[in-house]
Amino acid sequence: MFAVVQFPGSNDDRDMRFALKSALAVEAALVWHKDPELPPDTEAVLLPGGFSYGDYLRCGAMAHYSPIVAAVKRFAERGGPVLGTCNGFQILCESGLLPGVLIRNHHLRFVCELLHVRVEASRAPFTSRARTGEVLRIPIKHGEGAYTADAETLDALERNGQIALRYCEPDGAVTDRANPNGSLRNIAGITNEAGNVLGLMPHPEHAVEPSIGGVDGLAILGSLVDAVARK
């Protein structure tokens, strides 16, 4: 069973569940932020986008101390796959499961657009359905998505192959022009060192239907489904 966590202010929780069900035939349980434990049969955890706890203080800062995030941390430390999109990425950074932080878009505007990201490495559990270097077209929608970390951390991410996705041109070129928010080194998504936790600002759950812009989100969600099925 997949688990989608609901915080007060989450707004992509049902979209995520719908995407898994309609495009990948995977059932996901909605898990409330006050629950002290994940369901015992949880195989993967998804932290959805939204504005958990109103984004008060800093995006993701309050969610970090909700009971369910302690359970998600334990799940991740046992090697369980955890995927956070948008606000979920912010929560993963604030809770220390991923390094760095997402700050206000450098131009201060909320961005909502379909754009391109390059898959930096094809690997389980999150990108095995894509080729290394493949360009995916996936939407973003956020006001605070500028990935920020000190140079030492960024170098370590590069060295360890933890950068999963970068904002790019349609042909895959990583340029300043393709960077929608000021993220350092065009980072759109990173994993932890073990590779079982992914945070990304783009929304794969919003790219699963040809009629609303494409199905490239399945490269990520489908990879996770494959990884869980192989276990």
Catalytic site positions: 86, 203, 205
Span near another protein by CB under 8 A; candidates 67-75, 104-112, 127-135, 217-225: 104-112
Say whether residue 104 binds another protein (CB under 8 A). yes
Q: Tell me how far apart the alpha carbons of residues 202 and 194 are, in angstroms, rounded to a whole number.
A: 21
Q: Which of 12, 13, 55, 94 binds another protein (CB under 8 A)?
A: 94
Q: What does DSSP say about strands 2-6 and 44-47: parallel, antiparallel, or unpaired? A: parallel
Task: Return the residues of window 126-165 that contact another protein according to CB under 8 A.
Answer: 146, 148-150
Judged by CB, which is closer to another protein: 74, or 106? Answer: 106
Give the N- to C-terminal CA distance of the chain in Å, as an integer: 13
Quickly tell me which residue has 């949880």 as its tokens: 42
Buried residues in 158-177 as b, exposed as e (16+ CB within 10 A): eeeebbbbbbbeeeeebeee
Q: Which of 20, 26, 47, 61 binds another protein (CB under 8 A)?
A: 61
Q: Which of 10, 105, 127, 223 binds another protein (CB under 8 A)?
A: 105
DSSP string, 34-96: T-SS--TT--EEEE--B-GGGG-SSTTTTGGGSHHHHHHHHHHHTT--EEEETHHHHHHHHTT
Say whether residue 101 binds another protein (CB under 8 A). yes
Span near another protein by CB under 8 A; candidates 19-27, 101-109, 165-173, 199-207: 101-109
Say whether residue 185 binds another protein (CB under 8 A). no
Instruction: Catalog residues that contact another protein under the rule CB under 8 A.
Output: 57-58, 61, 65, 93-94, 99-101, 103-108, 146, 148-150, 182
